[in-house]
Chains A and B, each alone.
Chain A
Amino acid sequence: TLRLICTTTAVQRKNVGASGPEKYTEAFIKKQIEEFNLGKRHLANMMGEDPETFTQEDIDRAIAYLFPSGLFDKQARPVMKHPTEIFPEQRKIQWGEDGRPFHFLFYTGKQSYYSLMHETYEKLLNVQKHQDQLIAQDLPLQKEKRNLAGSRWLTKIELEEMLLEKVSDDDYSRFIQLLQKLVALPCADIEEKYIQKFCKEVPAQLKTVVIEPLQYDERGVAFSTGEGKRKTASATAVVYDNGTGKITVNGTDILHYFPVLQDREQLLFPFQFLGRIGKHDMVCTVSGGGRSAQAGAIRLASAKALRSFVTEKEVEFMRQAGLLTVDPRVKERKKPGQEGPRRKFTWKKR
C-alpha cells in the first residue's frame, strides 16, 4: 500500500488542505522497478521462455493467458507494466533544504510555463537580431517555408504532460500565438530544432492507404484483389481486365445468386460510377451475413480492387462517394427492460 510520505527534511508543506495527488519518493519508485524486473524474470521462467529476451509484448500475452478476463474495458483488465508507465510522472520537490526554491520563477506559481515563454521569446529576439544583421549586410532573406500542412502544434494536454503542471486555456493559446509569430518570421530556420519540439506530424488521410499495383496472371490478363466486410459478411473479389462484364459469385452467376434486383444494383454501383460496366470480369467468394450484407461486402471488395485500375483522382472520387468506406453499422444490442434495442415494452396504464 502507498502511504503519504513526507520529505525527510523538516519543511512543512505550503498548502495542507489540498495535498494533490499522492507523491511517490524516488526510493519507492526504484523499489517498484526492481520488483517489476524480478517479476518479469519469474514470469519468463513460468512461461518457459528466456528471461533475458522477454519483451513487454510477451509479458502482456502471458498475463492475458494467466489471468483471462471478460471485462470489456481494456484498461480494467490485469496489467503488468514498467512502473514509469503506471505511476504518473510527478514533480519532485522544488526547493532545497534551506527552503530556497531552485528555479528563479518559482514564486510565479507556474514556473515551467513562464520559463518556457521566456525561452521562446528569447529565441524570437534572436531571430529578429539575425534578420537585422542580414538586412544590414544586404543579403537576401531565406524564405524556405516549413511544411505546415503535415504538422500540428502540441495539444494542451500534451503540453501539460511536457511541463508537468497545469496549463490554462488562456496560457496555452498565448503560447501557441507566440510560436506562430516565431515561425512567421523569415529567418526562423535557425531555431528549427527548438520549434520541432512543439510540432507533431499529422499523417494525411490518403497517404496511409497504399494502392497495390496490378498483378498479371498466366494468360497475361491484369487482375487485382480486394476484400470487403459488411455486418458479419466478408467477401473477397478478384477483378480481371479485358472482360465482358460477367460476374461469378461462389461459383454461380449473379442472376442466380442474387435474384433480387436491389442486390444486383449494389454490385453494379462501383462499375457504373467509374463507367466500366462491360469492361471487367469478376470472380468473388463471400460468406456470412445475409443477402443484403453479402451484396454490400462484395461491393466494397470490388471497389477496393478497382482502385488499382484507376487514376488517383478517381480513387479520391470513389472515396468521397463512399464506395471505399467500411459500413460501421452492426446490429445493436438488446437492452434489458426493453423488447429490442430501441423498442420498449407496451406501456400499460394499469
Chain B
Amino acid sequence: QLDRGCALHTAARDGLSSVSSQDVPAQRPRAVFHTSESDPAKHTEQHEGRLYNIPLEEVKAVFPHGLPHRFQQQIRTFNEARVMVRKPALELLACLKGSNLAHPAVRYVIYGERGTGKTMTLCHVVHYCSRQGWLVLHIPDAHLWVKNCKELLQSSYKKDRLDQPLQASVWLKNFKSSNERFLQEIKTQKKYMWGKQECTEEGRPLGEVVEQGLARVRSASDAVGVVLREIKQQSHRGSFRLLVAVDGVNALWGRTTLRKEDKSPVSPEELTLVHNLRKMVKNDWSGGAIVTTLSQTGSLFKPSSAYTPQELLGKEGFDALDPFVPIPVPNYSPREFESCYGYYLERKWLQHEKAHTEDGKAELQFLSGSNPRQLDRLAGPL
C-alpha cells in the first residue's frame, strides 16, 4: 500500500499538521480575504470566496505545466501563489471525496464562458489530488497537440498514425517531474520493443520507459502511449488512485490545423497522442476520476460565443464523453469579487488613487462584468 497521507515535500508536511480550519481573527483586514488553510482537502463552504496560499515549492512540483500563463506571471510578481476557493471547485472536491473507487471512473466536464476560471478550478482539483497522493495525469492543453506542430513523423507502431515527438517529449518531461515516486513503483507488465534494438523488459519501473522516451525522441509518442496504457491497467488494482486531468478536451474531437505532406488534412484519430488520450478518457477503467475542461480560446473552427459542452465537443465528442457530470463555472459572485479586489489592493497592485474608493470598486465591477479575466486585465494597467 502506498503511503497515502504522505506529502510530496517537507514543506507540505508542515502545512498539513499545524493548520486550523478557522481563520485566526487578525487585526489587519487581511484575514477577510485569505484563509490560512492550504490543504484543499479541508476547504469547505466557509472558505468560499477566499484565497489560499500554495507554497512555491509545491507549485513547482505539482504544476510544472498546468497553470495559465497570466497566473504564472502573477505568481512571479507577487512571489506567492494564491488561488481562490470557488463553489464549482468545492462541488468537485465533494464529489471526489465521496466517489467509490470500485466503480468505473466518473467523468466531470467543467465548462463556462471565456475567462471565468475553468483552468484554475482544474488546478485546484489537481492540487487536492496530489496532496492526497493520487497519480495525476495532467495534460495542460490538448489544443497544443492538434495545432502548430512543426514535426510530424509517421508512427512505427501503426502505419497510418502520425507521431508528434516534440509535444510528447515536453509532456513526458513535465510528467516525470511531477510524479517521480510513482514512476519508481509502477512496474511494466509487458515487454515493449523500441525499434530494432532497444526493448524494455517486463517488470521494469515505468521510469525507464519515460527515460527511453526522453532519450529517443522519435519514439516519445509511443512511450506516452505505453505509460498511459500501463497506468490504466494497473489503476483498478487499487495500489494508487489515478486522476486524469485534461484541459481543453474538446480538442480531441474537433478538427486539426495540421496537414500531411500531401496537404490532406489530418483528423485527430490519426495522431497517436490524441488516440491514446481518448482511450484514457473513456470510462472503462476504475480506481480514479476524469476531470476535463472545455476551452474555447484555443479551439479551432468554433465560434467565440460557444461555451456549452454540446457546441464545443460536437456530436462525436459528446457521445464519447457521455455520460458525464457537467460543472458550470460562472463569473465572480459579489463576495468573490470583493475578495479578489481586496487582494489586489492589499498587494498594492492597484496603484490608481481612485481605485481605492468605493466608486472605483463599483466601476471595476461594472467594466469587468465580474469576469475574472477581464478584471485581471483591467487591474493590470491601474
Contacts and interface: CB of A to CB of B under 8 A. Distances in A.
Interface of A: 245, 253-256, 261, 264-265, 268, 271-272, 275, 277-278
A272 B374 CA distance: 19
Given A268-B366, A272-B363, 10 more contacts: A245-B362, A245-B366, A255-B371, A256-B305, A261-B367, A268-B363, A271-B366, A277-B362, A278-B362, A278-B365
Contact of A277 (B305, B366, B369, B378): B366
Interface residues of B, number: 11
B292 to A, nearest CB: 24
A199 B196 CA distance: 111
B359 interface: yes
A275 B358 CA distance: 10
A245 B365 contact: yes
A272 B378 CA distance: 17
B374 A277 contact: no
What is the interface of chain B mostly: helix, strand, loop, or mixed? helix
Contacts of A254: 369
6 contacts: A264-B366, A264-B369, A268-B363, A272-B363, A277-B365, A277-B366
B363 A277 contact: yes
Contacts of B363: 268, 272, 277
Contacts of A261: 367, 378
A255 B367 CA distance: 8
B369 A272 contact: no
Given A245-B362, A275-B359, A277-B362, A265 B367 contact: yes
Contacts of A256: 305
B366 A255 contact: no
B359 A277 contact: yes
A203 B178 CA distance: 79
Nearest to A255: B369
Nearest to A244: B334
B142 to A, nearest CB: 25
Nearest to A275: B359
Nearest to B371: A255
A291 to B, nearest CB: 15
Contacts of B367: 261, 264-265, 268
A285 to B, nearest CB: 19
A265 B359 CA distance: 14
B283 to A, nearest CB: 34
A299 B374 CA distance: 21
Contacts of B305: 256
Nearest to A261: B367
Contacts, number: 30
Interface of A: prevailing SS: helix
Interface string B357-382: 00100110111010100100010000
B365 A272 contact: no
Interface of B: 305, 359, 362-363, 365-367, 369, 371, 374, 378
A245 B367 CA distance: 11
A277 B367 CA distance: 10
A264 B367 CA distance: 6
Contacts of A255: 369, 371, 374
B359 A253 contact: no
A253 B362 contact: no
A265 B365 CA distance: 12
Contacts of B378: 261
Contacts of A272: 359, 363
Nearest to B331: A255
Contacts of B371: 255
A11 B157 CA distance: 125
A152 B305 CA distance: 60
Contacts of A264: 366-367, 369
Residue of A245, A255, A278 most packed against chain B (CB within 10 A): A255
A264 B366 CA distance: 8
Contacts of A268: 363, 366-367
A255 B305 CA distance: 11
B366 to A, nearest CB: 5
Candidate in B363, B367, B374, B378 with the most chain A CB atoms within 10 angstroms = B367
A257 to B, nearest CB: 11
B330 to A, nearest CB: 12
B178 to A, nearest CB: 35
A255 to B, nearest CB: 4
A277 B358 CA distance: 10
A250 to B, nearest CB: 13
Contacts of B362: 245, 277-278
A253 B374 CA distance: 14
A251 to B, nearest CB: 12
Nearest to A271: B366
Nearest to B367: A264
A254 B366 CA distance: 10
A250 B262 CA distance: 47
B290 to A, nearest CB: 30
A275 B361 CA distance: 12
A253 B366 contact: no
A261 B365 CA distance: 13
Contacts of B366: 245, 264, 268, 271, 277-278
A81 to B, nearest CB: 56
Contacts of B374: 255
Contacts of A277: 359, 362-363, 365-366
A245 B369 CA distance: 9
Contacts of B365: 245, 277-278
A268 B367 CA distance: 7
Give the interface centre of B362, B366, B369, B371 by most chain A CB atoms within 10 Å. Answer: B366
